[in-house]
Amino acid sequence: MITVHHLNNSRSQRVLWLLEELGLPYEVKRYERDKTTMLAPPELRKIHPLGKSPVITDDGKTIAETGAIIEYILERYGNGRLIPPPGSDDKLRFTYWLHYAEGSAMTPLLLRLLFTRIPMNAPGLMRPLIKSVFRQADARIVEPQLKAHLALWEAELTRSEWFAGAQFTAADIVMSFPCEAAAMRAGAREKPKIAAFLGRIHARPAYQAALKTGGPYDFAS
Ligand SMILES: N[C@@H](CCC(=O)N[C@@H](CS)C(=O)NCC(=O)O)C(=O)O
């Protein structure tokens, strides 16, 4: 049986959701973030050297990295579900979003998070100066990138209801996290198609079931 090594309030929520969508049995081993640093506990490094979440173990194998986990589960247990037919245009779109979510979309979102958090932790007297430097850097480097990414998602969700065509697929599961993070940090809810996408995914029974299993998740609102 698949074991999901689940870090609270993290990307591994997507893996729980995928397993719920497929109706597969799984067990959950829980790990708690450090309340100050938000880092994963050292025990997670015993499962995979990077100690990041998500990571799963199954049948003697350890699989890390969201996209690789999704591919593994679909190939081994999916029976063709939640993935467009091989060779189709939608399959190409699926592959793009599967890699893009972590490979491209998360970079400016992470920079936005850091550029906001670093000044908050700066020593008192320096804080206004550091805040101003980071605000300018965000406006110059991060904001234009986020604008372009959000425009891309909005255009794709105008072309079809889901990221890889007319049917819901695991591409929507992988893209949920950038969309949710962008709703918190980059005004994604002002984009009507992205906002509607978030409404649709949050209403799915499997998403709700995964939330119950995973516990408090800041990104679901
Ligand atoms: N690209 C990786 C990112 C993994 C990652 O950064 N996970 C975060 C959780 S959202 C984490 O483990 N953070 C805790 C830490 O870095 O200690 C993936 O999608 O699997």
pLDDT per residue as tens digits for the range 48-95: 999 999 999 999 999 999 999 999 999 999 999 999 999 999 999 999
Task: State the average pLDDT over residues 201-211.
Answer: 98
Helices 205-214 and 12-22, interaxial angle, to 10°?
A: 130
* Buried b / exposed e along 47-56 (16+ C-beta atoms within 10 A): bbeebbbbbb
- Give the nearest ligand 1 atom to 40 CA: 17
Task: State the average pLDDT over residues 34-38.
Answer: 93
Q: How confident is the model at residue 122 (pLDDT cuts 50, 70, 90)?
A: confident
Q: Extract the tokens encoding 210.
A: 């995964």
pLDDT at 221 over 80: no
pLDDT at 106: 98
The answer to whether the CB of 122 falls within 8 A of the CB of 114 is: no
pLDDT at 101: 98
Q: How many other C-beta atoms are found inside a 10 Å radius of the C-beta of residue 154?
A: 18
- Which residue has the least CA distance to atom 9 on ligand 1? 10
Centre of ligand 1 from the C-alpha of residue 60, in Å: 22
pLDDT at 121: 86
Centre of ligand 1 from the C-alpha of residue 128, in Å: 30
Enter the pTM of the model: 0.96
Is the Cβ atom of 188 under 6 angstroms away from ligand 1? no
pLDDT at 220: 80
pLDDT at 206 over 90: yes
Residue type, 109: L
Q: CA dihedral in degrees (70, 72, 77, 80; nearest 10)?
A: 70
pLDDT at 96: 98
Nearest in space to 3 (alpha carbons), one of 76, 54, 74, 65: 54
Average pLDDT, the chain: 97
Please measure the distance between the N-terminal and C-terminal CA atoms of the chain and give it in whole angstroms.
31
Is the Cβ atom of 11 under 6 angstroms away from ligand 1? yes
Nearest in space to 190 (alpha carbons), one of 217, 155, 154, 159: 154
State the Cα–Cα distance between residues 99 and 37, nearest whole angstrom: 28
The answer to whether the CB of 47 falls within 8 A of the CB of 62 is: yes
Residue type, 211: L
Is the Cβ atom of 52 under 6 angstroms away from ligand 1? yes
- Give the nearest ligand 1 atom to 38 CA: 14
Is the Cβ atom of 102 under 6 angstroms away from ligand 1? yes
Q: Extract the tokens encoding 133.
A: 């430097």
Q: How confident is the model at residue 10 (pLDDT cuts 50, 70, 90)?
A: very high
Is the Cβ atom of 9 under 6 angstroms away from ligand 1? no
Ligand 1 pocket test, candidate residues 4, 9, 11, 111, most atoms within 8 A of CB: 11
